[in-house]
Structure formats: structure tokens, C-alpha cells
Amino acid sequence: MTQTNKIATIGFFDGVHLGHRHLISQVVAEAARRQGIPVVVTFRSHPRSVISGQTVPLLTTEDEKVALLHECGIDQIYAIDFTSAISQMSAREFMQRVLSDQLGVTTLVIGYDHRFGRGRSEGFDDYVCYGRELGIDVVRADAFETGGLPISSSRIRHLLADEGDVAQAARLLGHPYCMSGTVVEGYQRGRELGYPTANLQIAADKLLPRDGVYSAQVETEWGCFDAMLNIGMNPTYTNSNRTVEAHLLDFDHSLYGTRVSATLFDRIRDEQPFASADELMQQLLADEQVIRRLMSARRTQP
């Protein structure tokens, strides 16, 4: 059997942000130089969720992450379960048992300051030494120059969940934040106000931005449509659960049971209670005008 030359890197890669993309571009370049296959080794669950038992809301579902990694030029993606047994492996054990024996990795590209293995106590020189013993060439990636701007998945989660700053999050991600879900039946109050909404059922582990109203574009089987998207409890009606609802502009089809994808661009305002349905409707009219202007301006940008 011919040995496949696999040029790999390791990481969770939540969001596949600009820092990740910088590393991945070096993996792709190294694979081309060595006439090999660019590979990413990642995990199905966030390591912190397994180690601490605390759920980490994710910027990308597994399917979204895989699609983004492929877009970056990665040919093969190995998503493995991060178990308690793996969390107890030293770096050398992981390199031998997972990278070498299980996956057949021949070259490992390490992020400039990335550490892995139990306690993250080992460093690049250790990885090089283990690689020599195991037949894995270990290469250190160049640092990502950010101009002093901190880029990390945790920073982006903070921007989205705590501030609702989808515009700044998009700058760090290198792409707008996106949420996909199946349209399910909601309370149908928007229809009564002349603003019917699609109630999106989002994956439970997907991070929802801070409650509020956002400009968005929703991709459907009929095409992409500008939208007003609300995240929250709908305090005018005191909902008992948090919802994601999108009113698609200039759209007249039933979306029930279909899967749609919402891309968020601007935060318009906080979610707020209104004294009456009429007051809420007036605010929705104002929101619509703001969103139409923003989306029109976006399309005319060079």
C-alpha cells in the first residue's frame, strides 16, 4: 500500500477565524511544497466542555466548520471525539497513537504559540523531538500579525454574546456571522402586525448573539432576501423561551419545514418591551426603513 503524504495541523478551529485561516494557508502551502494532502485534525466537542464540564456555545456547528475548512483549501478533515482518555494523553502519546498510528500523518504544522497534550506542559522543541522518533516532520507556522488586534474564538464569542457586535466579529472572523436552522411554527404574532416571521430552530450548541434586532440576509430555496432578524424573549408578549425570528423583506412564500441560513450584518437596537401592539408595529416600520437603507448601501459598496 502506498503511504499517503499527509500534512496536518491540530486545533478546534471554532469559527475558522482570520488567525485560523493564516495557519491553514501555511498547511496548504506546505502540502503543495511536499506534494502531499492538506489535513486538519479537529474535535467534535470543545475540549473545555469535556475537561470542565461546562458547555461552550460554538461559533460554528461541525458541518459549518467542515465547510469553511474545505473552502480554505483543506482536502481531508478528521473530526475525532475529545474524550477524557484523550485529555489525559501527553503530547507524545497523542502524536503516536492518534497522528501516527491512527491517521498516518507525515508532517505536522504547529500554530506559532499552540500547545497540546495533558496540561499543555510541552512545547515546540518537544514536539520536534517526538516527531523524529515517530517519523513525523514538525514545522512551526509563522505568527499571525494582527496589528495589535486580539483574535481568538473566545474574543469573538464575547463580541457576539455579550455585545452583539456582529460587525466587529465579522472583521475578526473574516466573514459575517451565520446561523442556520429549520423554520418551525411560532406564535404567529408578527403576521397579525403585518410582519410575518420565520421562527428558526437553531442547533442547541450554536452561539446566539446578544438579544436585539439585526439586519440580515436569509438564504432560502427561493433565493437570498434581506431581513429583519430578532433574537430574544419578545418582552412585549413575555415569551417563555428565547427565539430567533426573521422577517424577510419582499418575500411571499411559506418557509415552514424548510432549512434556511441567516447571515447577520448590523445590530440595529436592543430588544425592548412596548406598551401596545400599535407601538410595536410603529417600531417595526422604523426598523424596516433602517435595514433597507443599510442593505442597499452594502450592495453599492465597492
User: Do 199 and 244 form a contact (C-beta atoms < 8 A)?
Assistant: yes
Model pLDDT for residues 163-212, shown as the tens digit of each residue: 999 999 999 999 999 999 999 987 767 777 789 999 999 999 999 999 99
The whole-angstrom separation of Cα 215 and Cα 209 is: 13
Q: Please state, rounded to an integer, the average pLDDT across all residues of the chain.
A: 93
- For the residues 51-64, what does the mean pLDDT come to? 92
Cα distances from 131 to residues 80, 91, 114, 134, 265, in angstroms, run: 21, 10, 16, 5, 44
Task: Based on the residue annotation, tell me whether 64 is a catalytic residue of this protein.
Answer: no
Q: Does domain 6-140 have CATH number 3.40.50.620?
A: yes
The whole-angstrom separation of Cα 88 and Cα 222 is: 49
User: Do 210 and 199 form a contact (C-beta atoms < 8 A)?
Assistant: no
User: Do 224 and 217 form a contact (C-beta atoms < 8 A)?
Assistant: yes
What is the pLDDT confidence band of residue 3, given thresholds at 50, 70 and 90? low
| Residue in 117, 95, 123 with CA at minimum distance from that of residue 108 | 95
What is the pLDDT confidence band of residue 145, given thresholds at 50, 70 and 90? confident
CATH topology of domain 167-300: Elongation Factor Tu (Ef-tu); domain 3 (2.40.30)
User: Do 162 and 178 form a contact (C-beta atoms < 8 A)?
Assistant: no
Beta-sheet pairing, 37-43 with 137-140: unpaired
Model pLDDT for residues 239-293, shown as the tens digit of each residue: 678 999 999 999 999 999 999 999 999 999 999 999 888 999 999 999 999 999 9
pLDDT of residue 2: 40
Fold match flag (6-140 vs 167-300): no
* Domain chopping of the chain, boundaries: 6-140, 167-300
Catalytic residue from among 245, 271, 279, 288? 245
User: In a 10 Å sphere around its CB, with 0-12 CB exposed, 13-18 middle and 19+ buried, how is residue 179 labelled?
Assistant: buried
